[in-house]
């Protein structure tokens, strides 16, 4: 009607074009800024400030807040954020998440709608307010709401779980949740297991003792040895986790004394790295001087600059405290000890659970294993009288059936040798028959202990033991994230852990 649709489409195209032109211009500006070393300058400036991450963060947020008085939120988001976000995210002293930083910057940019003179909300209000309401009155009235925004920023900054918990929960309870063996989850998993050990440790120890008392003498030697070894590893896991947590406490106790020294030295080392970069530039300049008219003068000036930089570097290096090397060695030793003990614990629980789960799968496949008696006897009876080509396919099919069952490795290995004897350039039915009979002998041995295990109810007892340790010792071996563990990790990982002392 009266070209309304055409007008709407033209205005939409104009607005869309405007946004994309801003994005293109911002990308060009950011690329040029980085190409000329602007990002490095910003990084060196921020890293040179005392106070660590929070000083950098507060200054960046203050700059974004001030820019909100004059720039649209789009310009701030596409020009400033790509420059400062990588610098803040790479700081290990806060170890922040990109989600938290994005929400904090978003909350800050939100205030640009309220701050004069170009706040959009003020323009909207000016358009609908009567003439009796003065612009200055609106500026005064908006101060309280800007204060609320700043208050929200402070609260979210102090309690990062307000931002991080829901995304963590959504991820860890989803179908695409990472498995518990994910390295990023190990710290929180170990905290969870320590709490479970404290609460249910007696019950788990009782289950381990019960498993060690089971009569498994009729099982093959390697199977029984692995199972008993697994129960011993499960028993050791309590002490190993206690030792790892004690090592963590030792690190925490040493941190207050070590952190100021660490911050001081790392700050000096950053200054030295900046000078090293400048020295490298000066040395390259010296090589490029060539044989110009004023070459000697330029070389003398560059050499004087190099000498000055080296003197400055030596002066900075001299400010490193004498006790730094010993303090760093001692604290690094504590960190390595904690890391070593945690690794020992993880190896122990993996060794404690995997043989149990394998034995359960083996016993669960006993019925399917028993059903292969007749096909195996047929192979043995026909292998010398049937054409090798026909027997090869039959043996291969039987191998595949055995491969689907956990355990009968020796039977399958002997059948494989029999098949290869028939598949050779000169088929050897006698050798194939010998190997097939060996497979039959191995089958009889395995069928005997599987039947005894079935009669004694061993599977039910081991399944009960596995159920007791699955939620603690067996967590790392689970394919899917249990709900209670996912909820715990969502809360545990919602905060920011300072890992700067590891570097």
Q: How would DSSP label each residue in 115-178?
A: SSSS-HHHHHHHHHS-TTS-HHHHHHHTHHHHHHHHHHHHHHHH-THHHHHHHHHHHHTSTTPP
Residues with Cβ within 8 Å of 437's Cβ and at least 6 positions away in sequence, in order, are: 380
The region of weakest confidence among 16-20, 34-38, 64-68, 172-176 is 34-38
Q: Please identify which residue in the block is written with the tokens 């206690």.
A: 242
367 pLDDT more than 70: yes
**Nearest one of 410, 408, 435, 438 to 423, comparing CA atoms:** 435
Determine the Cα–Cα distance for residues 491 and 245; give it in Å rounded to an integer.
Answer: 19
Q: How confident is the model at residue 427 (pLDDT cuts 50, 70, 90)?
A: confident
Query: Which tokens in the block code for residue 20?
Result: 């994309």
Q: Cβ–Cβ contacts within 10 Å for residue 383, how many?
A: 24
Rounded mean pLDDT of 59-83?
Answer: 82
Q: What angle do CA 182, 188, 194 make, to 5 degrees?
A: 120
**Distance in Å from the first CA to the final CA of the chain:** 68
pLDDT for 125 equals 80
Q: Which residue has the higher pLDDT, 69 or 165?
A: 165
Q: How confident is the model at residue 292 (pLDDT cuts 50, 70, 90)?
A: low
CA 453 to chain CA mean position, Å:
42
Mean pLDDT of the chain: 88
pLDDT digits (tens, 9 = 90+) for 438-458: 989 999 999 999 999 999 999
Determine the Cα–Cα distance for residues 480 and 155; give it in Å rounded to an integer.
Answer: 34
Phi-psi group of 119: left, alpha or beta (phi > 0 → left; psi -120 to 50 → alpha; rest → beta) = beta
């Amino acid at each position: 009607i009266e070209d309304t649709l055409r007008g709407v489409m033209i205005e939409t195209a104009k607005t869309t074009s405007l946004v994309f032109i801003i994005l293109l211009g911002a990308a060009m500006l950011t690329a040029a800024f980085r190409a000329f070393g602007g990002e490095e300058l910003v990084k060196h400036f921020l890293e040179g400030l005392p106070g660590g991450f929070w000083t950098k963060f507060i200054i960046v947020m203050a700059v974004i807040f001030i820019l909100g008085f004059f720039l649209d939120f789009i310009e701030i988001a596409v020009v400033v954020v790509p420059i400062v976000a990588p610098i803040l995210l790479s700081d290990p002293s806060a170890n922040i998440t990109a989600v938290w930083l994005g929400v904090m910057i978003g909350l800050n940019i939100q205030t640009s709608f309220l701050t004069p003179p170009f706040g959009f909300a003020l323009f909207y209000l000016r358009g609908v307010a009567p003439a009796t309401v003065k612009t200055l009155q609106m500026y005064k009235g908006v101060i309280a709401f800007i204060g609320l925004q700043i208050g929200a920023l402070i609260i979210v900054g102090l309690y990062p779980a307000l931002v991080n918990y829901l995304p963590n929960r959504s991820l860890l309870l989803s179908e695409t949740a990472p498995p518990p063996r994910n390295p990023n989850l190990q710290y929180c998993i170990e905290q969870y297991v320590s709490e479970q050990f404290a609460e249910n440790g007696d019950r788990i120890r009782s289950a381990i003792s019960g498993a060690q008392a089971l009569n498994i003498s009729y099982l093959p030697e390697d199977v029984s040895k692995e199972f008993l070894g697994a129960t011993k590893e499960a028993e050791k896991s309590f002490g190993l986790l206690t030792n790892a947590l004690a090592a963590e406490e030792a690190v925490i106790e040493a941190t207050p004394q070590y952190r100021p020294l660490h911050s001081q030295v790392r700050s000096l080392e950053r200054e030295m790295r900046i000078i090293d970069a400048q020295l490298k530039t000066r040395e390259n300049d010296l090589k490029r001087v060539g044989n110009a008219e004023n070459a000697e003068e330029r070389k003398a000036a560059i050499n004087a600059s190099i000498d000055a930089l080296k003197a400055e570097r030596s002066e900075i290096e001299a400010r490193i405290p004498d006790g730094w090397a010993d303090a760093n060695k001692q604290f690094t030793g504590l960190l390595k000890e904690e890391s070593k003990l945690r690794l020992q614990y993880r190896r122990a629980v993996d060794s404690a659970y995997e043989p149990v789960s394998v034995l359960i799968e083996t016993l669960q496949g006993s019925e399917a294993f028993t059903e292969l008696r007749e096909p195996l006897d047929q192979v043995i009876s026909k292998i010398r009288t049937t054409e090798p080509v026909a027997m090869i396919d039959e043996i291969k099919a039987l191998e595949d059936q055995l491969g689907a069952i956990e355990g009968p490795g020796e039977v399958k290995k002997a059948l494989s040798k029999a098949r290869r004897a028939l598949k050779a350039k000169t088929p050897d039915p006698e050798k194939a028959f010998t190997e097939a009979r060996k497979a039959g002998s191995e089958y009889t041995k395995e069928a005997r202990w599987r039947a005894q295990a079935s009669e004694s109810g061993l599977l039910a007892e081991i399944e009960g033991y596995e159920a007791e340790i699955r939620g603690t010792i067996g967590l790392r071996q689970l394919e899917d994230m249990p709900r209670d563990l996912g909820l715990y990790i969502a809360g545990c990982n919602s905060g920011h852990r300072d890992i700067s002392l590891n570097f």
